[in-house]
Chains A and B, each alone.
Chain A
Amino acid sequence: MYVAVKGGERAIENAHRLLAHERRGDGKVSEISLDQISGQLSLAVDRVMVEGSLYDRELAALAIKQARGDMIEAIFLLRAFRATLPRFGVTEPADTGRMRVRRRISSTFKDIPGGQVLGPTFDYTHRLLDPQLAEASMPEAPATSEPSPATMPRVTDILGRDGLIESSPQADADTPVGDLTREPLSFPADRDLRLQNLARADEGFVLALGYSSQRGYGRNHPFAGEIRLGEVEVEFMAEDVGFAVPLGSITLTECQMVNQFKGSAAEAPCFTRGYGLAFGQSERKTMSMALVDRSLRARELGEEIVAPAQDEEFVMSHSDNVQATGFVEHLKLPHYVDFQSELGLLRKLRKEFSKAADASPPLREAAE
């Protein structure tokens, strides 16, 4: 006698219990703390905050711990929490020109006002596994000096003074910046929504698209005008008191790409911009984002759309890893009913095929 598949409820409970056990790992090894994740896996925390669209190091660290280090799962956890948060308002535009800079480099000028500041970077390290790190160790204290009194103007602002680069769009109170988490996205999408989409997009996906644009699929001749990392004050316009109140400061990485010129009979040729901005230290993400942002401006700049990186429907519809992983992994769910329907159709077609084959024996080759 056949007994229908049952007991799913208990199976789920037991699976989750086993998962919690696996997450903890060997009980003899001390448990990892949120401080340790936040402090020592800080770039992982940064990525989860960026793609999770929520600036909260502690919650991002918790998500990483709960997700057993699976980054997309951690991003998903943070997003699902973020979706339930009430929206009080929108901050003033962050002024990265007033950033307290920890790292700032330009590949377009040898020296710039304020200088090149390497800061904490993997660049120029030799990628040799360090056996000393296998043991507990305390690295040398970092070298220090007096902070430079010089201001650090953005490189694109220096170019902009001579009109060599298109001007940056100004904030306009009459046309508030869109929010694709609050309004359904429709195409064609403007640059504000494209940048929001790219900021939340999967780092690997944006990296690959940016890379494809460098390899000739929608080439746009980029230079890294400037990359800067540091702390920026966030201000909120409090209607009650009538002025902007500082809420605190957040760490941001900004990348401004300087791209091939554009000009017309009426306009003098000038460089164009590609822009990338992300929470924390996210250099790969912001550089890739700036490349793809520039590629996606093809429609606006009258360029022919020939490559995936220039196609906003393609890029924006597939960049979100929480959406992508959900839909790819939903194939794990039962599809018995549809499959049964397909089986029925296929059996019928095969039956008809063999009936037709029996009725008319295959023709012999003329040469035989």
Chain B
Amino acid sequence: MNAPAYNFAYLDEQTKRMIRRAILKAIAIPGYQVPFASREMPMPYGWGTGGVQVTAAILGPADVLKVIDQGSDDTTNAISIRKFFAKTAGVATTTSTVDATVIQTRHRIPEATLHGGQVLVYQVPIPEPLRFLEPRETETRRMHALGEYGLMHVKLYEDIAHFGHIATSYAYPVKVNARYVMDPSPTPKFDNPKMDNCPALQLFGAGREKRIYAIPPYTTVVSLDFEDHPFTRYRFDAPCALCGAEDSYLDEIVTDDEGSRMFVCSDTDYCETRQTLGHRGTESAAPHKERPHG
């Protein structure tokens, strides 16, 4: 039988070289979607294969990797991807945003400010911000080439006409470096301002759709809006029930079947760091830790 043998970080070096070329091109043209020959990965399409390929291509033995999903290091898919790289690349892993050199994320940007030298790798399901307005790739590529974004503004205007607000709460479109309209991946629009002028390199990988794009450090990223309807962040108006944070994005937890809810930080590292520093919320009577498994 043809017994498999795998390279450092799973992908073979030719594939990594191909992906690195796409990444370099993406950095050179901020916000532009670079096609790349995405490979079948050992996890399903739609579960982070684009992010995993980007991470595999940039990871070195000295890197420290953090993987989050919904802001949390403990969600099952984040654990699965973190274990994949711990196994295939043998790199150190961490849950600390500050200590990580590479952070792969799905649906969130960490609350802690990123610093220079860090790379944030986003998992992207649908890289094309115009896809739901125009299903054809041949058309949307032409629209990007011509900078023809009127359709997007019409959509946002129609939202205002129907609902009185721009009815996009996540994957909120941005304009990068005053040129390309870009999908920030399905992060809540709360996170959009963090992309602007960010000291860290931001890379976006869409495996199934075979696209890579990037925001180089200190690049202007503007959320689309209108003068009379400026972009606003959304955050449930409450402090975190565990750490009392007033500035973090919150998950809503349903605690019983009678309408009781509580709100806690979606970024678990941010929340735990604050608790360690002595911050307390209404529900944090005692610090809790996962019991070691015997």
Residues of chain A having any CB pair with chain B under 8 Å? 1-12, 56, 58-59, 62, 76, 79-84, 86, 181-188, 313, 317, 322-323, 325-330, 333-338, 340-345, 348-349, 352
Contacts and interface: CB of A to CB of B under 8 A. Distances in A.
A340 B45 contact: no
Given A81-B4, A184-B38, A327-B45, A344 B242 contact: no
Most central of A8, A62, A329 by chain B CB within 10 Å = A8
B294 to A, nearest CB: 11
Contacts, number: 166
A196 to B, nearest CB: 13
Contacts of B10: 84
A330 B165 contact: no
B40 A341 contact: no
B108 A345 contact: no
Q: How large is the interface on B (under 10, 10 to 19, 20 to 34, 35 or more residues)?
A: 35 or more
A8 to B, nearest CB: 5
A9 B72 CA distance: 13
Given A313-B138, A327-B45, A329-B44, A8 B76 contact: yes
A343 B80 CA distance: 28
Given A86-B12, A345-B167, A337 B137 contact: no
Contacts of B158: none
A136 B264 CA distance: 62
Nearest to A338: B170
A183 B253 CA distance: 44
A328 B46 CA distance: 8
Interface in B1-45: 1-2, 4, 6-7, 10-12, 14, 35-42, 44-45
Contacts of A3: 288
Contact of A1 (B69, B70, B76, B286): B286
B170 A2 contact: no
B74 to A, nearest CB: 5
Interface in B254-292: 255, 262, 264, 266, 268, 283-286, 288, 290
B161 to A, nearest CB: 14
B264 A12 contact: no
Contacts of A338: 107, 169-171, 186, 188
Contacts of A83: 39-41
B125 interface: yes
Interface of B: 1-2, 4, 6-7, 10-12, 14, 35-42, 44-47, 49, 69-71, 74-80, 83, 106-108, 125, 136-138, 163-165, 167, 169-171, 186-190, 208, 210, 234-236, 241-242, 249-253, 255, 262, 264, 266, 268, 283-286, 288, 290, 293
B46 A329 contact: yes
Nearest to A77: B42
Contact of A184 (B35, B45, B79, B255): B35
The 3 closest A-B pairs by CB, nearest first: A326-B45, A330-B46, A326-B44
Contacts of B107: 335, 337-338
A127 B55 CA distance: 52
Given A4-B242, A187-B137, A187-B138, A344 B234 contact: yes
A317 B10 CA distance: 26
Majority secondary structure, A binding face? helix
Given A333-B47, A348-B165, A340 B251 contact: yes
A12 B208 contact: no
Nearest to A314: B135
Given A6-B74, A322-B40, 8 more contacts: A7-B290, A8-B78, A12-B80, A336-B251, A337-B188, A341-B190, A344-B235, A344-B236
B138 A12 contact: no
Nearest to B76: A8
Given A2-B262, A341-B188, A184 B76 contact: no
B74 A5 contact: yes
B35 A186 contact: yes
Given A2-B283, A188-B138, A335-B107, A12 B268 contact: no
B293 A10 contact: yes
Contacts of A337: 70-71, 107-108, 170, 187-188, 249, 251, 266
A141 B38 CA distance: 48
A352 B164 CA distance: 9
Contacts of A56: 2
Contact of B46 (A84, A326, A335, A348): A326
Nearest to B271: A4
Given A11-B76, A184-B37, A342 B290 contact: no
A339 B181 CA distance: 24
Contacts of B45: 322-323, 325-327, 330
